[in-house]
Structure 1
Amino acid sequence: MPTFDTPAPIHATVDVITGDIRIVAGERHDTVVEVRPHDPSSEFDVRTAAQTRVEFADGKLLVKSPKPLSVYLTTRSTGVDVTVALPAGSQVKALTGQGDVRLEGTYGDCTVRTHHGDVLAHRTADLRATTLHGRISVDRIAGDAQITGSGDVELTEVTGAARVKNLDGPSWIGHAGGDVSVNSAHGDITIDRAGPRVVARTAHGSVRLGEVARGAAVLQTASGAIEIGVRKGTSAWLDVKSSSGTVHSELTAGDGPAGGDETAEIRARTLDGDILIRRAA
């Protein structure tokens, strides 16, 4: 297995036709790369693994599989599985046509793309992640998140802004420190704790905002319920409407915010579903 001395975090690019990518970041002073045929019984996979480039220079690692003509002339997929162990804090760009991408440990800025597969990460700085069919799950993003998917999206914590576009599947954000934008064609949207501005829209699905403390929130669905929790001590201005459902607010009506109160402006629309506004638990 190729091994390189890397006493500091590096910039790693892994680009394969098909196959899984696993990167492990830890407290280490070297980088180790392992390239294996995705299917050891496939001569195409074995050949592709043997021809995959592994290069390192000036703090940059490149792992890139070839694109032989035979890939396009056979119904059998050609692919390699890549495992990289590198120093924590490294920046990563991981691309695969078909396969899962796993980032274990703590990273700098990361870009991940797979056409068909899951994206799973522990901790990153800014993250751009895309899958056309699969799940995206990240424990902590210490920065901004740009997520494009078609499947389950789960972001436990985002310290910066979060932008999510999800074609088909539920989207969940545990806590966002910055502005949040979530758009979905088909799927529920859940944001447990919101940043200063939230825009959440889905054509088919429910929208739930667990706690809003200040700022502005725009929630919209064509078919589904909307639920909003307002933090205790926050005064809310409400503009909510359901075309064929009930609207219920558990908040006490008042003339305006008391001195020192945080304020939140909430707009919610659903064509077919109920709307509930309550105090956050």
Structure 2
Amino acid sequence: MRTFRAPDAEHVQLQVGAGLVEVVASDDGAVHGEIDCDGDEQEARVHVQTFGAEVRVVVPPATGWASGEARIRLAVPAGTDLTLTSGSGDLTTDVRLGRVSARSGSGDLRLAATATAGLHTGSGDITVLAVDGEADVSSGSGDIRVDSCGADLTLRTASGDATIGRLTGRAEAKLASGDFRLAATSGSVHVRTASGDITVGVAGQLAAWLDLHSSSGDVDIALPPTAEPGPDDPYVSIHARTGSGDIRIARA
């Protein structure tokens, strides 16, 4: 097993061919890493560099008959920034992070909380409990779940459902095949799915401007009538399109 310690690191960059990455809270304010590779030859080629407040870890692919799957455990202080590039592998975090950018060709991404998030996987599910700021998430094939987002959200999935809890900013969502559910929004929503249902909850007593269309499905508006908002009154606009599915707009 390869280990390292970076006492002044504020940003961790990981480049992993294949493997599992787990991020937990550090108990001494430093970044600690444990890297367990599939074979001594691969482990000997692990590269760890520190540049001021940044630590860079490169785990090269294995050679020969080894699977090449590495198991990486990081302990980091809360607020640490994380950048991950992985050909195939899962990411799990149990600590509040800063800016997170994660890209995996194939694998699940599961995050507890972040300041901002840019999360992309070719095949796998994405789950985030809380994003304080902006989030950009996409999956080629997999479900997306964001429990809360404090700013704008951009979401794309070719095959999978999208479930959003509470949204404060705007949402731009495109789904090729899957349902879109947004429990409560105080920001405007643009959502399009070729095949799937769309459900949006409007937070509080906000007025809503609606532009809804389903080519082959029902449109249900369960909002009580409200007066037209004044020039300075807040409101949300909801643009929703589905080729085959139902649309429902209701009070959250």
Is the 1:164–1:182 contact (alpha carbons within 8 Å) kept by the matching residues of 2? yes
CA distance in 2 between counterparts of 1:108 and 1:37 reads 24
Deviation (angstroms), 1:14 = 4.4
Is the 1:217–1:265 contact (alpha carbons within 8 Å) kept by the matching residues of 2? yes
Larger radius of gyration: 1
Partner of 2:42: 48
What does the per-residue CA deviation read over 1:232-277, in whole Å, with 9 as the maximum and x for residues that have no partner? 3110011101111111111123451279853011111111111111
CA distance in 1 between counterparts of 2:180 and 2:40 reads 48
Aligned length: 249
Deviation (angstroms), 1:119 = 1.1
With the length of structure 1 as denominator, give the TM-score of the two structures: 0.77
What does the per-residue CA deviation read over 1:185-215, in whole Å, with 9 as the maximum and x for residues that have no partner? 11111111112211111011111111122x3
Is the 1:48–1:79 contact (alpha carbons within 8 Å) kept by the matching residues of 2? no
SS in 2 for 1:273: coil
Give the % identical residues: 29
CA distance in 2 between counterparts of 1:23 and 1:141 reads 12
What does the per-residue CA deviation read over 1:45-81, in whole Å, with 9 as the maximum and x for residues that have no partner? 222323434555755545445678xx2xx34334554
Deviation (angstroms), 1:278 = 0.9
Amino acid at match of 2:239: R
Deviation (angstroms), 1:82 = 4.2
Structure 1 range deviating more: 259-268 or 22-31: 22-31
Amino acid at match of 1:257: P
Choose from 147, 154, 157 the match for 2:119.
147
SS in 2 for 1:47: helix
Structure 1 range deviating more: 108-117 or 20-29: 20-29
Choose from 136, 143, 168 the match for 1:170.
143
| 1:128 is the counterpart of 2:122 | no
CA distance in 1 between counterparts of 2:235 and 2:17 reads 50
Note closer, same or farther for the CA distance 1:256–1:27 as it changes in structure 2 (3 Å cut).
Answer: same
CA distance in 1 between counterparts of 2:46 and 2:161 reads 41
CA distance in 1 between counterparts of 2:79 and 2:149 reads 19
Deviation (angstroms), 1:131 = 1.4
Note closer, same or farther for the CA distance 1:261–1:151 as it changes in structure 2 (3 Å cut).
Answer: same
CA distance in 1 between counterparts of 2:4 and 2:91 reads 26
Choose from 192, 208, 211 the match for 1:239.
211
Choose from 154, 169, 190 the match for 2:163.
190
CA distance in 1 between counterparts of 2:100 and 2:6 reads 26
Amino acid at match of 1:28: D
Is the 1:228–1:276 contact (alpha carbons within 8 Å) kept by the matching residues of 2? yes
SS in 2 for 1:204: coil
CA distance in 2 between counterparts of 1:108 and 1:270 reads 39
Choose from 188, 192, 198 the match for 1:220.
192
CA distance in 1 between counterparts of 2:53 and 2:226 reads 60
SS in 1 for 2:193: strand
Is the 1:35–1:83 contact (alpha carbons within 8 Å) kept by the matching residues of 2? yes
Give RMSD over aligned pairs: 2.8
Amino acid at match of 2:66: R
With the length of structure 2 as denominator, give the TM-score of the two structures: 0.85
SS in 1 for 2:223: coil
Deviation (angstroms), 1:28 = 1.4
CA distance in 2 between counterparts of 1:196 and 1:2 reads 41
Note closer, same or farther for the CA distance 1:12–1:267 as it changes in structure 2 (3 Å cut).
Answer: closer
Amino acid at match of 1:27: D
Unaligned runs of 5+ in 2: none
Amino acid at match of 2:100: L
SS in 2 for 1:49: helix
CA distance in 1 between counterparts of 2:6 and 2:108 reads 34
Note closer, same or farther for the CA distance 1:248–1:160 as it changes in structure 2 (3 Å cut).
Answer: same
What does the per-residue CA deviation read over 1:67-112, in whole Å, with 9 as the maximum and x for residues that have no partner? 78xx2xx343345544454x51xxxxxxxxxxxxxxxxx2421101
